[in-house]
Structure 1
């Protein structure tokens, strides 16, 4: 019989490699404390973002090096862009830019130009039916006159007019009708401040048919000041009346409000804008009589 030692030796030779292979290798890990210290040391602190300063005034461009034109030259170039267009449908448009605060009061008014620009303005009049004011409104050219019939059409969404006037006798019914939430966002709600709640309906409608309304938006006032077939003299008269009205509106503002005219631009339906220098005719301008009539 074999001695036990002879049996143990072969078993030991087999067991040692298996035991050695089964032993897991312990990875050399960096201590957590050292890792956290290393990351904290290499991490760059974030600089707080500075808030962008918002300007309280509208941005204006420097006009010292900008090219400016006389009225005759601007009309000359604009008519070149409008070749082939109908002179009665294309309109000259004036843009007046202000230096003003963003949250300041705006300029808004209605003006009857010396030479009326043809418009198809539709006027609605809220007045007692079959009253003297209603008859005057119809004779002056109003397309819709009445009280309850007008309120019902507005509630149904049938708003086929450009201006709305209310007689003083119908103001109480207008306030109770609930149409302010419909006409207000459209800028059609009559108000005493805007001169659309009046006692004399006939003359107001007549003035409004031939008048134009302007309002400042984003520091700019825009309004049509003539048709393409107007002569430079007619345009000069309309522009003067428009600028005088704007200056009067600015003068009526609070003394603490600083609103100044920065730029005056003349454009048309299809032409770009030309900055005016305030002169009627330049040294090299063409004769004004050539800028009238058909193209």
Structure 2
């Protein structure tokens, strides 16, 4: 893969053999975000678990103190009073069965998070095939299947992110934008890593945090010293 001149320049700042502490890593990631747009800073956390086993799944949600820097569009599946409540809370789209053909047939995906009241999960389940692969299926563990739609919408708008293992047992989540201050990125990262450590399954054996890397959208990865994170 051919990398640009800017990437090569910023990659020189980072010693790939070194595991940095959080403050230094964040400083380097910010310096290496030189694209013309406001790059997203992501954390890539490799865990010592086997997500194929239900008792070693790691999944949850956490509200980042400074948000992600991204405007999140929320779709709520609800009826009656709960639909009105979702609208009042600032949900971008609210609906019920009427949304099924729009999503299934018109390929409408102008939303980033889906919230549903428990009574609507039968309806939402019909969209499992299209929402599942995109990671959009509401889930009680992530707080997106709930009767308290006001709290769900408020939390998401305030910077709540969902984390879960991918097939290779890595969690990929945004922790902010390159335009954030180092303090904001540090707060967000510490909140995230704290939640992931707390979510450690009792069935997990050996080293839990295998590797943690921070990277901007276009920049090189910076490895963190996992021994200092536990």
Question: Does 2:18 align with 1:67?
Answer: yes
User: Normalised by the size of structure 2, how large is the TM-score?
Assistant: 0.78
**Structure 1 runs (4+) greater than 6 angstroms displaced:** none
Deviation of 1:155 after TM superposition, in Å, equals: 2.8
Mind listing any 5+ residue stretches in structure 1 that lack a counterpart?
Answer: 1-64, 281-295
The residue number in structure 2 matching 1:201 is 149
1:107 aligns with 2:58: yes
1:93-151 CA-to-partner distances (Å, cap 9, x unmatched) read: 112122233633331212111111112322111111xx221122122222221212212
Are the aligned partners of 2:61 and 2:141 in contact in 1 as well (CA < 8 Å)?
Answer: no
**Partners of 1:206 and 1:184 in 2: CA distance:** 23
Partner of 2:4: none
Unaligned runs of 5+ in 2: 1-15
Q: Would the alpha carbon gap of residues 222 and 170 (structure 1) be closer, same or farther in structure 2, given more than 3 Å must change?
A: closer
User: CA distance change for structure 1 residues 84 and 184 in 2, over 3 Å: closer, same or farther?
Assistant: closer
* Match runs of 1:31-180 below 5 Å: 66-83=17-34, 85-86=36-37, 89-101=38-50, 103-104=52-53, 105-128=56-79, 131-156=80-105, 157-174=107-124, 178-180=126-128
| Residues in 1 aligned to 2:172 and 2:122: alpha-carbon distance in whole angstroms | 34
Cα displacement string for residues 74-104 of structure 1 (whole angstroms, at most 9, x for unaligned residues): 3343333333634xx2122112122233633
Residue 248 (1) aligns with residue 195 (2): no
- CA distance in 1 between partners of 2:141 and 2:28 (Å): 40
Q: Highest CA radius of gyration, 1 or 2?
A: 1
How large is the RMSD of aligned CA atoms in angstroms? 2.6
Deviations 1:247-278 (A, max 9, x none): 1111xx2x333261122212111211111237
Counterpart of 1:231 in structure 2 is 181
Residues 97 and 278 (structure 1), Cα distance of their counterparts in 2 relative to 1, 3 Å cut: closer
Asked whether the 8 Å contact 1:226–1:235 carries over to 2, the reply is: yes
State yes or no: 1:221 paired with 2:174: no
**1:147–1:239 distance in 2 versus 1, CA, 3 Å:** same
Partner secondary structure for residue 222 of structure 1: strand
Alignment equivalent of 1:272, drawn from 202, 220, 224: 220
Aligned partners of 2:195 and 2:100: how far apart in 1? 34
Q: TM-score, normalised to structure 1's length?
A: 0.62
Q: 2:75·2:114 contact (CA, 8 Å) conserved in 1?
A: yes
Count residues with an aligned counterpart: 207
